[in-house]
Amino acid sequence: MKLTLTGVSHHRAPIELRERVALDLDACAALAERLDGEAVVLSTCNRTELYLVREDHAEELSVSTLTELAGDRGQELGAALYRLRDEAAALHLFRVAAGLDSLVPGEGEILGQVRSAFEAGSTGPFLDRLFRQALHAGRRVRMETAINESPASVPSAAAALAQQVFDDLSGRRVLVLGAGKMSEATARNLVSRGADVAVVANRTPAHGEELARRLAAQAVALDAVGAELERVDVVVSATSATGHVLSREAVAAALRARKGRPLLLVDLAVPRDLDPAINELDGCFLYDVDDLEAVVAETISGRRSEAARAERLVAEEADRFREWQAALDVVPTIASLRALAEEIRDSELARAGGRLSERERKHVESVTSQILAKLLHLPTIRMKEAAAAADGVVYADVVRHLFGLGEEERRR
Amino acid sequence: MAEFLVVPALLAYGEAAVAYAGELRGPGLAGRLATWGVRVGWLAQTALLIGQMVSADGFPWGTWAGALNLFVWLVVGAYLIWGCTPKYRLLGLTVMPFAAVLLALAWAGGGTTLDEGDRSGVVLAVHAVLMLAGFAGLTLAAGMAALYLWQERRLKRHERRVLRVRMPPLDALDRLAARTVLGSLVLLGIGIGVGASSFERGDFDAAMAVTLLILALYAGLLVLRHEGVRGRRAALLNLAGLALVAVVLPLTHFAG
């Protein structure tokens, strides 16, 4: 059986082409079913890939399927397609599951998408093993490296900092100052980690109300935020004001009512909205855009070094899969050899059966069974080792020739 | 033979302390080695304590060094509850060097040998174990407080690597330290109750007075928490409390 992977991804295909071949999970399941044999369809916003296990015509089938999906953009598909087989295909899937093939290396969502694709696929022993090992590789990379722990943008860095202060963000209240894109992106990042945007304040009330509506929050006037400071945990500020929107004194006044609860303030505006002296207050942590960009730059460099470690882990897992796959080449020979040995043992026992008592027969059966097991143990191990070293087929041929395996069937 | 188990325990604790420092470069092998060091060391020390218990006629940890040996075991045991989780793993940075040094001290003071022990009865043995467990909890809370101050400093200074070296979150450390203090106070309270049941009139001494004072101070810390003394100030009070325990208690209990 041969593993074939055919797909398009963000590396070579523009979004216009990727969206043509993108499928939801139900469609992936239906397509995998239609492709016959072992098949998994992985479709995310960055890629659509078909994993097939067939003896022949797998590639042609995959290409024609993707071309059909691409419709009138089918002619563009040729240049964007990649086709991989066996070890290369397995390694590719392991890298995908580990997030190493993603736009942002190490992103966490892909592992769940690979799992869903696997569960929706038509898998047999081969793809079952392949995808389970890919999921294991993905989990290993996330556990043993810090590749997915480092945010790659200012909004995600702000949200990660909030988690460093508050741990779980569920139920944490956020105050958003300003109704621009940056405030919204940061607020949404916090919401995605469990926080609630409680209040939005903006100089232009209509814009503030619009953002508040989108974030299911309450809109207030900018000069009313002092009272809100007592109740919120995170302040995100990105207004276009020319002076400080929040002074040290205003925050200090609110701290008395907060009873020691920490307050994270994220100032994304230039010029700055929040008085830098706020950071000196006990329990207040103020980050401006320069601080956040420095954190992001550091974490991105960390991602690169972690990616190198992750690649090594993925290569290890791919090697293990290759060994398993190679062993498959010799499994039929090993099975035939054992069947032949058992057949000989059974026939010899049958011939001697009349001359033995029940007790003797059981004893002889036990002894001959042990002899066979011991005799065949080493050749079995050696053949599997040879398979892992790519000599498996040669060894299997030699064993088949020496023991005449298959000749009996051919004579029949 | 069992007394030589202190060597692997000490080596494993030392290895864990060094490996936790390596974990600061990023999660990975160092963290796993550290966790295994703690586990192996704790198991070796458990075997040592069992050996001491079996060979003794009475309570085997009645001396200051013996008490220190049991105390380290309790501290590391309590740490293992959180230490195995990736989120709190770096708590080992403050706990394991301390544990290794104290165990070495207990060894040097003869607290890891097999001898007959102190024939002071079951009630006093239970009292001693509960008190030591309570103080072990306070030590762990102080470890969390130290880590809190470190993490707070990193966040205040806007360290670039603040997200690369994942310390336990500030608020979680603060809450966990308070809960640990509360648990320790419960153990100390029960320990004092058990001890008091065997005391006679006129037994009240400086050690008991100091223990009650410490209990009251830590209880006050928890009350103040409701009044807003949290975070940095609570962490500093926690460390000051442990300093008091570390300096005053051995003097009143074991001096002379």
Tell me if residue A221 falls in helix, strand or coil: strand
**CA nearest to B172 within chain A:** A167
**Phi and psi at residue A258, to the nearest 5°:** -80, -15
Lowest mean pLDDT across A319-333, A387-401, B36-50, B178-192: A387-401
CB-nearest partner of B161 from A157, A161, A298: A298
- The whole-number pLDDT of residue B120 equals 66
Burial of B93 (0-12, 13-18, 19+ CB in 10 A): buried
Share of chain B above pLDDT 70, in %: 91
Which residue, among A224, A269, A277, has the nearest Cα to A247 in the 3D structure?
A277
Select from A258, A259, A298 the Cβ nearest to the Cβ of B160. Answer: A298
> Domain A154-297 belongs to what topology?
Rossmann fold (3.40.50)
Tens-place pLDDT, residues A52-101: 998 888 888 999 999 998 888 888 888 899 999 988 999 999 999 998 98
Q: Quote the mean pLDDT of chain A.
A: 87
Q: Which residues of B touch A165 (CB under 8 A)?
A: 155, 169-171
Q: Is the pLDDT confidence value at B90 over 90? A: no
Q: How confident is the model over A158-171, as pLDDT tens digits?
A: 999 999 999 889 98
Nearest to B170 among A165, A259, A294 (CB): A165
Judged by CB atoms closer than 8 Å, whether chains meet at B163 and A259 is answered as no
Please report which confidence band the pLDDT of residue A385 belongs to, taking 50, 70 and 90 as the band edges. confident
Average per-residue pLDDT in chain B? 85
Q: Contacts of residue B166 in chain A, CB cutoff 8 Å? A: 146, 149, 164
Best of A161, A167, A292 to mutate (most B CBs within 10 Å, chain B) = A167
Q: What are phi and psi of B177, to 5 degrees?
A: -60, -40
**Are B172 and A167 within 8 A, CB to CB?**
yes
pLDDT digits (tens, 9 = 90+) for A347-381: 888 888 778 888 888 888 899 999 998 998 888 88
Q: Is the pLDDT of residue B27 over 70?
A: no
Q: Looking at chain B, which residue has its C-alpha nearest residue A283? A: B231
Q: Residue ranges per domain, chain A?
A: 2-144, 154-297, 317-411
What is the pTM assigned to this prediction?
A: 0.67
Q: Cis link prior to A271 (omega < 30° from 0)?
A: yes
Q: Do A165 and B171 touch (CB under 8 A)?
A: yes
pLDDT digits (tens, 9 = 90+) for A131-159: 999 999 999 998 888 777 667 788 888 99
For residue B85, pLDDT beyond 80: no
Kindly list the domain boundaries of chain B, sorted by start residue.
1-116, 120-256
Q: Which of A250, A306, A230 is nearest to B28 (CA)?
A: A306
Residue A36 sits at φ, ψ, to 5 deg, of: 70, 140
Q: What is the DSSP secondary structure assignment for residue A244, as one 8-state letter? A: -
Summarised one tens digit per residue, pLDDT across range A7-43 is 999 888 888 888 888 888 999 999 999 988 899 999 9
Q: Which residues of B touch A (CB under 8 A)?
A: 26-29, 86, 151, 155-156, 158, 160-164, 166-172, 225-234
Positions of A marked catalytic: 45
What integer pLDDT is reported at residue A359 of this predicted model?
86
Please report where in the chains the tokens 């293990």 appear, as a residue: A320
Given a cut of 90, is residue A121 above it in pLDDT? yes
d(Cα A398, Cα B48) in Å, to the nearest integer? 58
Count contacts between A and B (CB, < 8 Å).
88
CB spacing of A146 vs B234 below 8 angstroms: no
Closest chain B CA to residue A297: B160
CATH 3.30.460.30 fits A2-144, yes or no: yes
CA distance A333 to A387: 12
